[in-house]
Every structure is written in C-alpha cells, then in structure tokens.
Amino acid sequence: MSTWLKASQPVRTQPRLWVETMWLVESREPMVLTRTIDLHAGLNIVWAKESASNDASGLASAGHGVGKTSLCLLLRYVLGDDAPAIATLRSKAAGSFPKGGVAAKVHVDGAVWLVFRPYGLYSHSLAARCDALDRLFEGTAPNDFDGYGRALEQFSIGRLAARSLPGTNQPLEWRHLLAWCIREQRTRFDGFYHWREGEGLGFKRSRRDPPLLVGSVLGLVDQALDQLLRDIEAKQKQVEQCKERIPELERAPAFALAHADRQLRLKVRAEEDEPVFATTVGESVESRVQAALQKAESDERGWEREAEQADEALAQERVRLHELTKACDLAKVENEMAKSLVDAKLEDYERLSKVRDRLAGLEGRCEPGNIEFSECEHVQKNKTTFNMTWFQDGKQAKADASLFAARHQASTVALDKAEKAVSEQEKLIAKKRPELHRLRVRIATSETSRTFLKQSWDDLQLKHTQRNQGGDTAELAEARQQLLEFESALESLRAAEVSQRSRQSSRVDAIKALTATVSSRLLGAAGHARFLPGHEVRPFEVARGGEAYQVLEVLLGDIVCLLDSAVSEASNHPGFLVHDCPREADMSELLYREFFLAAAEAAEQLGGDGMAPFQFIVTTTSAPPEELGGAPHVVLELAPGADEALLFKRQLTPDLTGLDAGWP
C-alpha cells in the first residue's frame, strides 16, 4: 500500500458534501426509473468507452455523445444550479421524458437530503430530509426545497470569514463555489480560475474576485485580514481617483484661461488677434471692456433720471386719483342723500349728512376760527339745509317733491361724471406704471451685466497672473497633498496585510507542503510545483512549460484543495470535486494515469471503513488504469452504438452538434 500521504491525517470521516445516489426518473406517477447511479466517497469514474467495432463512425468511436457531460450538468442541477446550459439540456430531456427529472441523495454537512428536479419548465422541484424516494414523490415527507437551498448556502458560504467580496461588497453565493467544484469540459482546464465558458458567474471583477473566493474557501482569509483587504480596496480606489483627478486639475488653469478669454471676447466683440491688455496703438480686450463699462454706467445714469421723472409724474397722478376718488365718494353720498329726500327717509338723510360732513372734512374743529365746524357761520351758511317740517306737512311735501327729484337727478349726473373721471385717471396711471417698471428693469439688467463683465475681466486678469507666476492652484495643491496621504495610508495597510498574512504562515505552509507531496506523487520528483497564495492567475505553478503542464497545474491545484479539505479544519472546501474529461484537455497519457492512481491512493490512505473524506467524480473517454478499470472505482460505463449504454438509454435528439460539449 502506498504511503505518500502518511504525514497527513484526516480530520473528518466523510466529505462535507457528497452525492450517494442519482436517479434518472422517467415518471414520478407511477415511479419509473430510467437509470440508477450509485456513487460513493472517494474516486468515482464515469467511463465513456470507445467503440470496439471497426464499423463505428468517428464520433461514435471516440466515445462522444453518450452522456458524460450531461451527467455533470445533472449533478449541477441537483445541487441548485440553473445555468443556461442546464436549461438547454432540460428542454431536450423533457421532449423524451415530459414527466421525468433527476433525483439524488445528497449529504450536506452530515444531513441527508433527497432532491428531485424536473426536466419540464412547469413542474416543481422537491427536497426533503428523508430516506425514501417514494416518500418524496408521494408527499408524505414535506417539501422543503427552499430549506435545501439555504442548507447549501449555509454549509458553504456561511462558513466563510466574510460573505461578500472586499472592494465591491458583492454577496458570495453557493453557485460561485459550485462552479469551482464542478469544472466543465469546455474550459479545457486552461486556467485555475477559469470555471465556466460563456455562462458568466456574475462576478463584478472576473480577474480579481475568484482568487478572493478561493482564498476565503482555503481558510487563508480571517475576519481581520478580510477587513484589511476591504480597507486596502477602499484606499486603493481613493488613490486611483486622486491620481485621475490631478492631471485634470493640472490642465484646468489653461482650460479655464482659454475659456474665460473666449467668453470675454464674445461679450465685448473682440477679435481673436487683439491683445488682452491695452497697448498704445489699436484695440484690445481691456480697452473694449473699459469702454463697455463706461457706456453702461452712462446709460444707467440716463435711465435713472428718466426713472426719477417718471416716478415723480406717477406720484402726481396718484395724488390726482386720490382727490378724484374722494370727490367721487362725496358725490355718491350726496346722491344717496338726495334720494333719501325723494323717498322721505329722515333717518337715512341724517345718517348720510354725517357721512357727507366727514368726507367733506366738516367734522371736528375749524382751525382758522378755533371753533367747531357745527358753530362756524361760514360753514353753516354754505351748507345745504332743508326745512324738515315738510315731513309733518303733507302739502309742503307735495310742493317740495319736484325740487327733491330735480336735485336727485343733478346729483346722479354729478356722480357719473366723478366716476368717469376716476376711471380715466386709473387708466392713465395703469399706462404710466409699466413705463416706470421697464426703466427699472433696464437699469437692473444693465447693472447685473456690468457687474458680471467687470468680474469676468477681473477673473481673466487673475488667471493670467497665476499662469505667469507658475504656481499651483489651491485645489491642485490640496489634491497632491491628499494623494500623498492616501498613498502613505495604503502602504501602511499593505504592511499590515503582510503582517497579518505572516501570522497565517502555518496555514500557507501546510498547503505548500501538501502541494509538494501531491506533485511529487504525480511527477515522480520533488520541486517541480509550488503554491503561490494570492496569485491572480496561477496559484499552483508547475516549473516546466508546455500545454500538458498548464492543464496539470489546474488538476494539481484542485486535488491539493480537495485533499486539504480532508486533512485541515481550517479549510472551507466542500470536499466535493467533479472533472469532466480532463484527458481531452491534452494531458499526456502517463500523467493522466498517475492522476487517477494518486486520487485512488489518497482515498485509500485517508479513508476508513470504506468511507473516504472526499468525493471525486471524473468522466473520461480514455480507459482508466487497469487497476482502476472496474468496481468500485468505475461507477458508470457508457458507450456509443447501443441505447442501453447511453446515459438516458436513448438519444434525446436525432442529430446532435458540438460533440460532447454538452449533450448526450
């Protein structure tokens, strides 16, 4: 028995995530199964054999189109993935199995879930913590598919020091980690962080975010380091923004000077070749500005005089209106008095007499005579009085009736005349008021334009002075100082990051040691591979070049992380890995053989009682090593030419394209 992993001891007896059984369901009611696939912890090989017949076509003989990639897609489907490639496969499968779907027995962090996901678009997914598929279909076990989804998130992302990515605060999801755990064939294993081809995982930064996720999963990022990374991202953003702003501020004075010069020339109608400052001969911007300012001041003085005259005239007209209005009010009262005489209403006559006296100013004291108006002989003599005895004498009342009527008619004519005079005076004032308003608006507009022109000229002079002196603007000096402060703070944060990572050196050293162990087993000698934590492209590097070694870097890294999940409590890796045809990514036959043997030996060395602490599922069209060519390592054999040997035991479509890039 090989003992190359003797220095590593498992910390768990089974993977944190593994699939025990998969059922391809033809129908739920009644329950009819197309195929049952029993899986186990450790190495599981799905072998798509090449045709033994010489009559087979090129495609058939190569072992393509039998369903190995479809099996990987179904694994993704039962583990919560709903990517477009899966939707395409579902639509094809639903054509042959309209009531069918895929079911699986999934172990999630020690809990056993039975899961069913339909091929059709209009059926519901089911999940329950039970031990019999018929209970799930019959509904005796309550459906908790949402709970299953939460369990997948919690056992994976919920273990991480942070559930979002530093820099963007993008939430991490189980589907991000699942993409790493189930590599698809279409990426050709061309990069450790290249997990999907054409689907998109929703990372905002496709280059930087996968390494951050992997670092968190491997336990290389604790809460303190995560906070430092977030602080570094934020400070780096401030540095970049400041660096972008400084060139703009450096160019700003020249742009501002040119803009101010252009705008001022347009205002004063100066030609482009005219000098800015006054000279002994010819026009200049300065001379035009001074001339414009002087003209504006002169115009404003003239408008001020016109406004004063208009204001005085308007005031006189308002006095005249006041007098006419007062006379109109008096005429109205006298008209009403005359009417009270006609109507023989003594009380109205006496009340209106008092109103008339108040309007005429005949109440109070007569200042020249220093006596009350009621005792002034001149006033009493000139007041119109009537003998009130007619109210008691009917004959006299009849005699005075025509007199009262004539007086009322005369007062009505006087009232109409007074009202007309008031109306004409109001119209006159209404005509003069807008003229005064226009003058004041013109003055205000001119003052504003003159002030703005003077400010523009003063600003242009200042900009010329600053350019000649060659000094930085206050804003530019502040930005440069701010950049120095940001860069200093960033260096301090990076130093703190290095210090924090050094405290985790034991974790890095453990992965480096495991990398050396696995690479020695695969390559037959030590020193050819190393672990480079934090590298954004090749965290696992094989020293020798060539395409085969590029693929090997991906396989080596995945196997190291898979085994690390079994021997380290610090790892958050699920201990679950699926590779779809890595042999077809042009890895050499010898390396491919050692790759299988190393995985099987690791399962044997780390396992106990027939249970390994990880699950590794590999599909292949090449024959596995003879030692692994049967049970328990080969869990499913597929072959072209016979329906029984196809994954779905039939062709889903009559003509398939794209080889095994996806579809059975």
> pLDDT tens across 453-490, in order?
999 999 998 888 888 887 778 888 999 999 999 999 99
pLDDT at 385: 47
Residue that is written with structure tokens 């992302």 in the block: 157
Mean pLDDT of all residues in 343-368: 65
What is the pTM (predicted TM-score) of this model? 0.67
150-203 per-position pLDDT tens digit: 999 999 999 998 899 988 889 999 999 999 999 988 888 889 999 988 777 888
For the chain, give the longest Cα–Cα distance. Answer: 156
Q: Where are the alpha helices (DSSP H) in 343-393?
A: 346-359, 377-382
Name which of 67-76, 252-261, 360-369, 493-502 the model is least confident about.
360-369
Token pair, residue 181, equals: 């755990």
pLDDT at 601: 95
Q: DSSP 3-state assignment of 5?
A: coil
pLDDT at 52: 62
Instruction: Examine the pLDDT at 364 and tell me if it is beyond 60.
Output: no
Instruction: Examine the pLDDT at 363 and tell me if it is beyond 90.
Output: no
pLDDT at 281: 78
Residue 115 burial (10 A CB sphere; 0-12, 13-18, 19+): buried
Side-chain half-sphere CA neighbours of 597 within 13 A? 18
How far is the C-alpha of 443 from the C-alpha of 303, rounded, in Å?
7
Establish whether the linkage from the previous residue to 533 is cis, with ω within 30° of 0.
Answer: no
Residue that is written with structure tokens 């007499």 in the block: 353
Q: Return the percent helix, strand and coil in the chain, to nearest 5.
A: 55, 10, 30
26-71 per-position pLDDT tens digit: 999 889 999 999 999 999 999 998 766 555 555 554 557 899 999 9
Token pair, residue 577, equals: 């890995």
269-293 per-position pLDDT tens digit: 888 888 999 887 788 998 999 999 9
pLDDT at 126: 97
Name which of 266-275, 346-355, 407-416 the model is least confident about.
346-355
Partner residues linked to 372 by β-bridges: 365
What residue type is 192 in one-letter code?
A: F
How far is the C-alpha of 354 from the C-alpha of 383, rounded, in Å?
12
Share above pLDDT 70 across residues of the chain, in percent, rounded to a whole number: 87
Q: At what angle do helices 209-217 and 174-181 cross, to 10 degrees?
A: 80
What residue type is 337 in one-letter code?
A: M
Mean pLDDT of all residues in 511-531: 88
Going by C-beta distance under 8 Å and a sequence separation of 6 or more, which residues neighbour residue 154?
none
pLDDT at 520: 92
Going by C-beta distance under 8 Å and a sequence separation of 6 or more, which residues neighbour residue 587?
189, 548, 551, 552, 555, 595
Handedness of CA 92, 93, 99, 101 (dihedral sign): negative
pLDDT at 576: 98
In contact, 19 and 574? CB cutoff 8 Å: no
In contact, 118 and 103? CB cutoff 8 Å: no
pLDDT at 304: 92
Q: How many CB atoms lie within 10 A of CB 500?
A: 17
Going by C-beta distance under 8 Å and a sequence separation of 6 or more, which residues neighbour residue 215?
221, 533, 534
Name which of 97-101, 242-246, 540-544 the model is least confident about.
540-544
State how far the alpha carbon of 279 is from the alpha carbons of 4, 282, 286, 299, 382, in Å: 94, 7, 9, 27, 82
How far is the C-alpha of 35 from the C-alpha of 644, rounded, in Å?
10
pLDDT at 125: 96
In contact, 555 and 515? CB cutoff 8 Å: no
Split at pLDDT 50, 70, 90, the class of 136 is: very high
579-592 per-position pLDDT tens digit: 998 876 567 788 88
Instruction: Examine the pLDDT at 602 and tell me if it is beyond 90.
Output: yes
Instruction: Examine the pLDDT at 658 and tell me if it is beyond 50.
Output: no
pLDDT at 371: 62
Q: Which residues of 549-588 are buried (b: 16+ CB within 10 A; e: fewer)?
A: bbbbbbbbbbbbbbbbbbbbebbbbbbbbbbbbbbbbebb
Of 492 and 333, the structure prediction assigns the larger pLDDT to 492
Strands 540-542 and 182-183 turn out to be unpaired
Mean pLDDT of the chain: 86
In contact, 197 and 207? CB cutoff 8 Å: no
Of 331 and 47, the structure prediction assigns the larger pLDDT to 47
pLDDT at 297: 93
Partner residues linked to 358 by β-bridges: none
Going by C-beta distance under 8 Å and a sequence separation of 6 or more, which residues neighbour residue 371?
365
* DSSP code for 187: G
Split at pLDDT 50, 70, 90, the class of 388 is: very low
In contact, 218 and 532? CB cutoff 8 Å: no
Q: How far apart are the first and last CA of the chain?
A: 38
67-90 per-position pLDDT tens digit: 999 999 999 999 999 999 999 999
